[in-house]
Amino acid sequence: MKKIKIAILFIFFLGLYFFSGVGLQNSGDSPQYRLTQSIVNRHSYSIDSSDELIWPDIVYQNDKVYSGRSPGESFLAIPFYLVSKIADKYHFLSLPYNGQREGIIAESSLEASTVMFNSFCGALGVIMVFGISFLLFSDFNPSYLTAVLYGLGTLNWKYSSTFCRHSPHVFFLLLSIFLLIKLLQNKNNMFNYILLSISLAFSVFIDPTSILFSVVCVIFALIKISIKQFDLFKIINYLFIFGLITFLINIPIFFYNQTIFDNALNSAWSKQARNNWLADKSVTFGTPFIPSFFTNLFSPNKPIQPSVFSSYFLTNPQVAEEQGLYYASTYQYKGIFFQSPYLFLIFLSFFLMKKKKTWIILFFLAVVSCIMQFLYLAFYSPNSYDTRFFLPITAILSVLVTPFFIYVFKKSIFLKTLFCLLVVPVLLISFFQSWVSSTENFSPHLTGEKRVLVLDLLLHPQITQIFTETFPNIYNYKIFCIYSIIFITPYITFSILHQKFSHTHQPFS
């Protein structure tokens, strides 16, 4: 029964995220998608310069236009684009909003179907939150509830329904933590270390700033491996394995950079057409850490204070205008604890946990996962103006809510009811804000315009309009069913084989 519940959890969030998409929106997702499209259709790295949505996140090089973003997400999405093209050829795809919306074009169905890659990774991220929680605390129902809360109550909903890198990036970070914990628990050290190295390498493949997180995880692993007996040769061997795996997996990135920029270590980020300041790392990552840390975690829906920004930002009017400094210092900004207020429960968990070390290590890893984002000049994401860069922290910290739920589950009916009265409002606020973020996301092919205002939606005379605006991609249910079968079949097959050949012979249910 537990395996079925896990499958249901995955399918539910896969559908929730996939049906919430609309296809391409603006420069936040278009350059990455156009690269995937160009590789498949034209066998080229240059992208279609006629698409107005790609500006300004592009690079001009050798009279051609290229995506101004890291290509890892675009490479991994290729199989999903290919499947979507085949499905489109046989008329399995439908337009978001059933085509009845400004901004929807003929290609919107293909775009919306390809976003299945991000929805897939977002749903896997939910599963990994459950997996880490269960691995640490060995209690199924509280771990399951934590995963549901993360899936419904965070920006994972919004960014698993768009062609942005965040959901695959978070998935690989969570998978890395899961494998690191298994290694720290002395389970198949070498095998888990290799898997850990692969997962960390893919996190770098998606987002190069993950290299610091990867190094920290490897250090944790090496400390555990060497704790009984220090062996320098063994440490060098493990470091070599990590380095080799990271290099091999990132060869496509190096080849991409070498082909376009004649230097494998150059990247599109530092060559963008407008944001020239990205070429200077001291400027790009010059935001003061401490003010940024407290703002991005605990800003209570108020404008960002000038003291949080770097001096370069404050003294360069052109960059300030391009990156929306006035907007950021005028309009409300929610830190992750106010975007997803259920996270405040982790502080109750700290006092409830017997092993405080687990809480401290996870909190430390959460912060390390976004060190570079805290330092980033425009950490608030001018285009979206939310904490999307800090979704890894939200995901990792969500695990620490589980001990609180374990504590509540063990109490009497009266105390459970009391806790529900106190906590459920916080959970509902998290869900509501997550729903608002997804539903008020950008319109398809109309840069900067929201799809709908939630207040207008709630006052709409037809209540069914809420469903339509929440799930504009519901008309693509046929391709969703095909993908669901593709994803679930291996899981069921593995479960049956595991039951058949395991020593316990526990029945699969």
Q: Quick: pLDDT tens for 287-312.
A: 999 999 999 999 999 999 999 999 99
What average pLDDT does range 69-87 have in this prediction? 96
- The C-alpha atoms of residue 312 and residue 275 are separated, in whole angstroms, by 14
- The predicted pLDDT at position 383 comes to 84
Separate counts of helices (H) and strands (E) for the chain: 28, 4
- The predicted pLDDT at position 508 comes to 34
What average pLDDT does range 165-180 have in this prediction? 98
- The predicted pLDDT at position 493 comes to 82
C-alpha dihedral over 420, 423, 424, 430, to 10 degrees? -160
Among 23-27, 275-279, 498-502, which is the least confidently predicted range? Answer: 498-502
pTM score of the predicted model:
0.95
Cβ(49)–Cβ(12) under 8 Å?
no
Question: Is the model more confident about 166 or about 265?
Answer: 166
**153: how many CB neighbours lie within 10 A of its CB?**
26
User: How sure is the predictor about 492, in pLDDT bands with cuts at 50, 70 and 90?
Assistant: confident
> Which residues make Cβ contacts (< 8 Å) with residue 81, sequence separation at least 6?
36, 37, 40, 110, 114
> Which residues make Cβ contacts (< 8 Å) with residue 300, sequence separation at least 6?
334, 335, 338
Looking up tokens 């003291």 gives 307
What average pLDDT does range 457-486 have in this prediction? 93
- The predicted pLDDT at position 446 comes to 86
Looking up tokens 């959890």 gives 9
DSSP state of 502: S
**86: how many CB neighbours lie within 10 A of its CB?**
12
What average pLDDT does range 334-344 have in this prediction? 97
Look at residue 506 and tell me whether its pLDDT is greater than 70.
Answer: no
Q: What percent of the chain has pLDDT over 90?
A: 76
Look at residue 140 and tell me whether its pLDDT is greater than 70.
Answer: yes
> Which residues make Cβ contacts (< 8 Å) with residue 363, sequence separation at least 6?
346, 397, 400
Integer-rounded Cα Rg, in Å, for the chain is: 23
306: preceding bond cis by omega (within 30 degrees): no
- The C-alpha atoms of residue 199 and residue 194 are separated, in whole angstroms, by 9
Look at residue 452 and tell me whether its pLDDT is greater than 50.
Answer: yes
- The C-alpha atoms of residue 101 and residue 105 are separated, in whole angstroms, by 9
DSSP state of 71: S
**87: how many CB neighbours lie within 10 A of its CB?**
19
Q: What is the pLDDT of residues 375-405, one digit of tens each?
A: 999 999 988 899 999 999 999 999 999 999 9
- The predicted pLDDT at position 274 comes to 79
- The predicted pLDDT at position 159 comes to 98
Mean pLDDT of the chain: 92
Among 8-22, 122-136, 238-252, 435-449, which is the least confidently predicted range? Answer: 435-449
User: How sure is the predictor about 81, in pLDDT bands with cuts at 50, 70 and 90?
Assistant: very high
User: How sure is the predictor about 188, in pLDDT bands with cuts at 50, 70 and 90?
Assistant: low
Look at residue 189 and tell me whether its pLDDT is greater than 50.
Answer: yes
- The predicted pLDDT at position 489 comes to 86
What average pLDDT does range 262-282 have in this prediction? 85
- The predicted pLDDT at position 266 comes to 87
User: How sure is the predictor about 505, in pLDDT bands with cuts at 50, 70 and 90?
Assistant: very low
Look at residue 507 and tell me whether its pLDDT is greater than 50.
Answer: no
> Which residues make Cβ contacts (< 8 Å) with residue 143, sequence separation at least 6?
130, 133, 134, 137, 402
- The C-alpha atoms of residue 153 and residue 437 are separated, in whole angstroms, by 10
Distance of CA 297 to the CA centre of its chain: 17
What average pLDDT does range 409-436 have in this prediction? 91
User: How sure is the predictor about 89, in pLDDT bands with cuts at 50, 70 and 90?
Assistant: very high
**254: how many CB neighbours lie within 10 A of its CB?**
13
Count Cα atoms within 13 angstroms, Cβ side, for 367.
11
Cβ(136)–Cβ(181) under 8 Å?
yes
- The predicted pLDDT at position 502 comes to 60
Look at residue 183 and tell me whether its pLDDT is greater than 60.
Answer: yes
Residue 146, amino acid: T
Count Cα atoms within 13 angstroms, Cβ side, for 242.
22
Among 14-23, 148-157, 268-277, which is the least confidently predicted range? Answer: 268-277
